[in-house]
A and B are shown apart, each in its own frame.
Chain A
Amino acid sequence: MRIRDLTGRAGPATSLLIKGPAGSVAKKAAALLLVSVGLAGCITVNAPEEPIVIELNVNIRQEVIYRLAQDAGDTIEDNADIF
Chain B
Amino acid sequence: MTKNLTRVVLAATAFATVAGGLAAPAYAQRDPAYASARSAGLVGEKMDGYLGIVVASTPELQRIVNDINIKRRALYSERARATNATIEEYALTAGCQAILKTEPGEKYQAPDGSWQTRTSAPPQRDSRCP
Contact = CB atoms under 8 A, between A and B. Distances in A.
A81 to B, nearest CB: 5
A72 B85 CA distance: 11
Interface string B75-91: 10001001101001110
Contact of A80 (B28, B90, B94): B28
Report whether over half of chain B's contact residues are helix, strand or loop; otherwise say mixed: helix
Given A71-B83, A82-B68, A82-B72, A65 B98 contact: no
Contact of A65 (B28, B30, B48, B96): B96
Task: Kindly name the residue among A56, A65, A67, A72 whose own CB sees the greatest number of chain B CB atoms within 10 A.
Answer: A72
Interface residues of A, number: 21
B101 A62 contact: no
Contacts, number: 71
A75 B98 contact: no
A14 B77 CA distance: 67
A72 B93 contact: yes
B128 A62 contact: yes
Interface string A42-83: 000000000000001100111011111101110110011111
Identify whether the interface residues of A are mostly helix, strand, loop, or mixed: helix
Contacts of A57: 48, 88, 92
Contact of B128 (A60, A71, A72): A60
A78 to B, nearest CB: 8
A81 B27 contact: yes
A79 B75 contact: yes
Interface of B: 27-31, 47-48, 68, 71-72, 75, 79, 82-83, 85, 88-90, 92-94, 96-98, 101, 126-130
